[in-house]
Structure 1
C-alpha cells in the first residue's frame, strides 16, 4: 500500500514538473526515459537547471535593485529650509 502511494506521489510530481516546464520554459524538458520519445528541441536536465539558475540570479538582481531604489526614495525627505 505504501509503495503504491509513493508511486502515485512520484507520478504526480513528474506530471506537475512537466506542466510547469511547458508553462515557464521556452523549450520542454523531457520527462520520458525512452530515447525515441525525446524531442529534438527539448532541453537536457542539466541545461534546464542552468537556465533556472540564471533566471533565479536575474530575479535576485532585479529584487535587489528595486529594494535599493525604494530605500533611496524612502530616505529622501523634503528639501531643508523649505516649509
Structure 2
C-alpha cells in the first residue's frame, strides 16, 4: 500500500509509447531530387489522365451526347499545380547543388588546404591543414578583400564618368 509521505505522491510508471520509425530525410540536394522523381512521375501521369478525361468530357458536351458537367472528374488545375510545384522543388535543389559544387571548386582552388571541423588542440594536426577558426578567419579576410576591391572599382567608375 502506497502512503504519501509529507505530501509527496509516489511516482507511477509512465507507459512508453512506441512511435513509428520514420525514414530519415535526406539532407543533400541530390538525394532530395531523387526522392522527388517518383512523385513527379506520378503527378505527371495524373495530370495527363485528368487532361484526357476533361477533353473527353468537353468533346461529349460539344457533340451533345452529354448534358451538363459531371463532378466526378478531378480538377485539372489542381493536378497541374502539384506537378509545377514538384518541378519548382527539383529546380531549386538543382540550382542549390550547382552553387554548392561551384563553391566547393572555388574553395579547393583558392584554399587548397583541408579544413578540420573539430577541436584539434591535442591531435597533432599537420601544417597542411586549417582548424575551423583559422578557416573562418581566412574566409573573412577574403570577403573583406573582395568588398575592398568592389568599392575601389565603384569609386574608379564614378571618377571616370563625365561630370555634369
Unaligned regions of 5+ residues in structure 2, if any?
Answer: 1-21, 32-96
Aligned residues: 69
Structure 1 gap ranges (5+): 78-83
RMSD: 3.6
TM-score, normalisation: structure 2: 0.33
Q: Tell me the TM-score normalised to structure 1 length.
A: 0.59
1:24 is matched with which residue: 110, 115, 139? 110
Question: For residues 18 and 73 of structure 1, do their structure 2 counterparts lie closer, same or farther at Cα, with a shift above 3 Å needed?
Answer: closer
**Distance 1:73-1:21 versus aligned 2 partners, 3 A rule:** closer
- Residue 48 of structure 2 is matched in structure 1 by none
Whether the 8 Å CA contact 1:18–1:29 is kept in 2: the answer is no
Larger Rg: 2
Q: Which structure shows the higher helix fraction? A: 1
Alpha-carbon displacement from aligned partner over 1:15-50 (angstroms, at most 9, x marks no partner): x5765543220422136x6x7xx8512000110010
Q: Distance in 1 between matches of 2:160 and 2:23?
A: 56
